Amino acid sequence: MGDHMPDDSHENVPSRQRRRFEGISSRAYEHPADRSALVALRKLSGFDTVFKALSGLLPERSLRLLFLSDSVRVSDAQFAHLNDMLRDACYILDLEKVPPMYVNQDPQPNAMCIGLDEPIIVVTTGLVELLDEEEMRAVVGHEVGHALSGHSVYRTILLFLTSLALRVAWIPLGNLAIMAIVTALREWFRKSELSADRAGLLVGQDLQASMRGLMKIAGGNHLHEMNVDAFLAQAEEYEAGGDLRDSVLKILNVMPRSHPFTTVRAAELKKWAESRDYQRIMDGHYPRRGEDGDTKVTDSFRESAASYASDVRSSKDPLMKLVSDIAGGAGDLGGRVRRGFGGFATGSPKDQPRGDGPDDESPNGSA
């Protein structure tokens, strides 16, 4: 597999005409919450110590040898259709060096982009067997988006901190500090998935294929039994339904996960696809990598703050509505909270239901 991209006439570029984004900066598609969470992560006490320790503990060569020895490397000779998709995704996003890509035997549909010095893309056989060509193209674009954004480094740190926690217990931070870093990494990574979903759409340029892929990740290979509109309606019901108790449970449910809930990802991607920002990119108006050095951190903070404020104002979640009302100076706050919890907060202990809280372990998302 070559390292550099083909020109327009290369046989690996599909016949279906799609726009190429020459010199595009990852800032064009990154979710504002992704950037702000990453800035917050870097400021977290002890993160630099963990980062430096793991960089020395987990050399890049070892990681590459692991996949080289126990997975199938994508090339012109192996999984050639995936190799075409990979090269094409790098061509569309103008990523000059094509990352190595491996197929790993695992029935769980999943994909990841990891690596400390250079990114490595890994997809599972469960994912390859689940998705059709256009759906898979969006996933490959998703992972190339991670590579372009430089997410692989932090994803690798998260992977090893969660799976090898006992082996890094000697780091002089204490378990609570390490778990604080893991929690912050998970919060950032959930936001980074929204960015990478956007990159996948820019590569595939087929919103329906992106929607189908997310539905299949949620419900399996039963496309004839599923409906995009009904799937998106679930996200609407999830966001707006219930009272303040449900809002708290949503937060508790998502905290152990590395990925956002699939319906939420679908709704977020559809909203972005219908936005002026997406249309401007498709029209060729987007920030270039050559301008990245001139970007101010304060600008990113302003964009993130504006995005969060807009999300709070437009959210139908009961907790977000309460936050919006507080910011707007709404009166009778105590009454609003009591009504939001449906009287649960003021009832006597004997009247309160038992055993209906979330499980200690919530399933992690994938792909």
Distance CA 82, CA 124 (A): 12
Geometric angle at alpha carbon 22, from 150 and 303, rounded to 5°? 55
Residue 172: what residue type? P
Q: Please answer whether residues 12 and 87 qualify as being in contact, where contact means their C-beta atoms are separated by less than 8 angstroms.
A: yes
* Residue in 30, 134, 135, 143 annotated catalytic: 143
Query: Which contacts (CB < 8 Å, 24+ apart) does range 80-83 have?
Result: 81/133, 82/123, 82/128, 82/136, 82/140, 83/1, 83/12
| Residue 143 a catalytic site member | yes
Counting Cα atoms < 13 Å in the Cβ hemisphere of 345 gives 13
Distance CA 112, CA 367 (A): 7
The number of residues making up the chain comes to: 367
Q: Read out DSSP for 308-333?
A: HHHHHHH---HHHHHHHHHHTT-S-H
Distance CA 285, CA 28 (A): 9
Distance CA 210, CA 66 (A): 31
The residue assigned the tokens 């992977």 is 159
Provide the annotated active-site residues: 143
